[in-house]
Structure formats: structure tokens, C-alpha cells
Amino acid sequence: MKSYLYLSLIPESLIASMLPPAEFGNYLATGTKKRTRGEAMFFEVSRDFKSKDLPVAQVDERCIPHPDGQPKRSVYLSIYRVLEHIPIDALRDLYLVTDDGRVLQLQKKNYNQPGNHELHLYQELCPVTPQIVSNLDPLEFCRLVTNRKKSVSVPRLVFAELILDKLAQDPVSASADNLPYAKINHLRDCLSSLKQAPDKNTKTVIRYINQDILYRTIKNGFFAGDNKDFCFYPFPTEKEMEEKFHDWWRSALTTGF
């Protein structure tokens, strides 16, 4: 049987499996007996990936079928500082899994800078999980956070941009009726502080994520990068969701709330 290599983001871990991505995602979210539920998010990692820091050479030795012929569902190879040891070019497709096990596949694309001056709301996903507002676009934000010359930085980062609607231009007066965030006034204050201090690039809204990702809050997609490489995983539009990924989208909207 073929073996696969996955980088799970919830929580950060490197996992070998004999399950292809859709089956693996369903297994992560619901288990084998469907008695558990929880969102999952993971990258497929190139099987050509070699590392002196991660035990990828053990995959073929450890990821073998059970005595009854059933595939090995998961072999945890590492649960600590995984992302920083996997280069961006070794990341393949990104998979988003709802808490009832439905899987959406996102493909890697080149990122074109939007060229606007809006404020942004980012949810960092790995290796840290604060929610941050910034006046930097996604590429600039990634370069800032992964600048190892700074005392506060990470080697590599995965994050998503979340919707702000009109708060991106006017955090004080614009309506926020369509935004499903708790403590909206605190979000307004954080955004306003960036408007008032343009030399300040970021401000923390929430120190760590304490719930599943609300997929309906994703603005444009997911990003992975460091101070050298950067990639983008576009999130389908609402129209595309309704027409092409209806079952996944309905699950994302109605489960876990």
C-alpha cells in the first residue's frame, strides 16, 4: 500500500498514514467509530522530502499494514517544531476538514499583492495561534513575523486572512453587523490604534485561538511562508462553494456552532 506524509496543524504534528487525503481527513475529524468530532487542517508533504531534523526515513519501516491487512491510519513521527523543518516547496495541497469529516482540498497558487491600503485581520495557525490586526498585506506580514533578526519571530508561519468588511477602511464608524466575532468593540479599538499610529504594523486581538476555525470568516485564503518563500491557498468564493462544494460548505456553516 502507498504511504503518505502529512503535516497536521491542529495540533502541529508530522504524521505518516496509508490513508489518502480525503480518508485521512475524515479519520482525523471523526475517528474510526465516529464517536468524536473536531475540525482538522493538514498539508500533504512531498514523499521526496528528506530531513536530518525529522524522522521521515522511518515512514516505510513504521507505516505498514496491520496483521489483518487493514491500512495503518496514523503513525506520529514528530509533535514538536515540525513546520520550521519543512520547507515551503515540500508542502503540497492543503486540506480543510469540518467537524463531521467532510474534506475540502485547496491547491497552492502564486500570490499577487492586492495593492490596497486596507487594514487586515489575520489568524495565525502554526506554530503560534494569536489573532492579529495589521496594516501589512499578507506577504509583508509574513516577512515581518518570520524576520529572525527580530527578538519576537518564528522561523515559518501558516495563517489565514479573515473578513473585516467595511471595518478594513473605517474601524470606528462602519457597521459590523455581518461579522461573527465576539468583543467587536475590542476589535474596533485594535484596528483604530493602527490607524492612529501608522508606524505600528501589528496589534494582537486575541492571544491564542480557543475554538475551531469559523470557515465562513475566511476572506481570501490561507498562507504559508518564511522570510524567503511564500505561497497562497485560495479559498473558494461563496458562489463556488454553492455550485462546486455545496456539501462541504453546508457542513462548515451548520456544524460546530
- The predicted-structure confidence for 60-69, as pLDDT tens digits, reads as follows 999 999 999 8
pTM for the whole structure: 0.93
Q: What is the mean pLDDT of the chain?
A: 92
Please state, in angstroms and rounded to a whole number, the distance separating the CA atoms of residues 130 and 190: 14
Report the distance separating Cα 195 and Cα 119, nearest Å: 8
The pLDDT, as a whole number, for residue 257 is 38
Average confidence (pLDDT) over 53-75: 94
Residue 256 has pLDDT above 50, yes or no: no
Q: In the predicted model, is pLDDT for residue 111 greater than 50?
A: yes
Do 32 and 138 lie in a common domain? no
Residue 90 and residue 137 share a domain: no
Sheet holding 91-97, edge to edge: 75-78, 12-17, 4-9, 40-45, 91-97, 103-106
Identify whether residues 76 and 144 lie together within a single domain: no
In a domain, 255, yes or no: no
Please name the residues in contact with 3: beta carbons below 8 A apart, sequence gap of 6 or more: 16, 17, 18, 47, 59, 60, 63
Residue-level pLDDT at 36: 61
Per-residue pLDDT, 208:
84
Q: Are 100 and 39 in contact (CB under 8 A)?
A: no
In a shared domain, residues 161 and 202 = yes
Answer yes or no: are the C-beta atoms of 75 and 66 closer than 8 Å: no
* Domain ranges, residue 38: 4-106
Would 180 be classed as within a structural domain? Answer: yes
Q: Is the pLDDT of residue 241 over 90?
A: yes
Residue 13 burial (CB count, 10 A): 17
Q: Are residues 85 and 142 in the same domain?
A: no
Domain count, the chain: 2
Q: Residue 170: in which H helix or E strand, if any?
A: none
Q: Is residue 81 located within the same domain as residue 174?
A: no
Contacts of 89 (CB under 8 A, 6+ apart): 229
Q: Do 129 and 212 reside in the same domain of the chain?
A: yes
Q: In terms of domains, do 54 and 148 share one?
A: no
Over residues 182-196, the mean pLDDT reads: 94
What's the pLDDT band for 141 if we cut at 50, 70, 90?
Answer: very high
Per-position DSSP letters for 241-257, written without gaps between them: HHHH-HHHHHHHHHS--
pLDDT at 171 over 50: yes
